[in-house]
Amino acid sequence: MSFTLAKTERLAAILSQTPVIPVLTFSDAKSGVATAKALRDGGLTVLEVTMRTPKALEALQAIVDEVEGVTVGAGTILEPQHVQQAIESGAAFLVSPGSASRLLGAASEAPVPWLPGVSTVSEAMQLAERGATFAKFFPAGPAGGPPFLKALVAPLPELHFVPTGGIDRGNVEDYLILRNVACVGGSWVAPQQAIDSGDWDAIRTLARETSALKAR
Share of the chain above pLDDT 70, in %: 98
pLDDT of residue 1: 54
Exactly one of 68, 129, 136, 150 is catalytic; which is it?
136
**Sheet harboring 114-115: ordered strands across?**
114-115, 93-95, 71-75, 46-50, 20-24, 184-186
Dihedral sign, CA of 32, 36, 37, 39? positive
Whether 216 shows a pLDDT value over 80: the answer reads: no
More confident residue, 214 or 95: 95
Local structure of 25: helix, strand or coil: coil
pLDDT band at 2 (very low <50, low <70, confident <90, very high): low
pLDDT of res. 193? 96
What is residue 172's three-state secondary structure? helix
The residue from 30, 37, 48, 109 that is catalytic is 48
Is 168 within a domain? yes
Q: Which CATH number covers residue 47?
A: 3.20.20.70
Residue 216 lies in a domain: no
78 falls within a domain: yes
Burial of 101 (0-12, 13-18, 19+ CB in 10 A): exposed
Residue 57 has pLDDT above 90, yes or no: yes
Known active-site residue 48? yes
Span 63-73, pLDDT tens digits: 999 999 999 99
- Range of 76's domain? 5-211
Q: Does 99 fall in a domain?
A: yes
Residue 131 lies in a domain: yes
How far apart, in whole angstroms, are the C-alpha atoms of residue 163 and residue 140? 5
Strands 93-95 vs 114-115: parallel, antiparallel or unpaired: parallel
Measured from the Cβ of residue 133, the count of other Cβ atoms closer than 10 Å reads 16
pLDDT at 173: 96
Handedness of CA 87, 88, 91, 96 (dihedral sign): negative
Chain-wide mean pLDDT for the chain? 95
Going by C-alpha positions, the residue among 66, 27, 17 that lies closest to residue 49 is 27
Q: Looking at the predicted structure, is the pLDDT value of residue 153 above 80? A: yes
pLDDT band at residue 104 using 50, 70 and 90 as cut-offs? confident
Tell me the mean pLDDT in the region 6-19. Answer: 96
The runs of H, that is alpha helices, within the chain are 5-15, 29-41, 56-66, 80-88, 101-109, 121-129, 145-151, 172-176, 192-197, 200-211
Tell me, what's the pLDDT at 42?
Answer: 97
Alpha-carbon span 97 to 75, nearest angstrom: 8
**Domain tally, the chain:** 1
**Domain-embedded: residue 177:** yes
User: Catalytic site residue 136?
Assistant: yes
Mean pLDDT, rounded, for 68-84: 96
Specify the pLDDT at position 215: 54
Is 202 part of a structural domain of the chain? yes
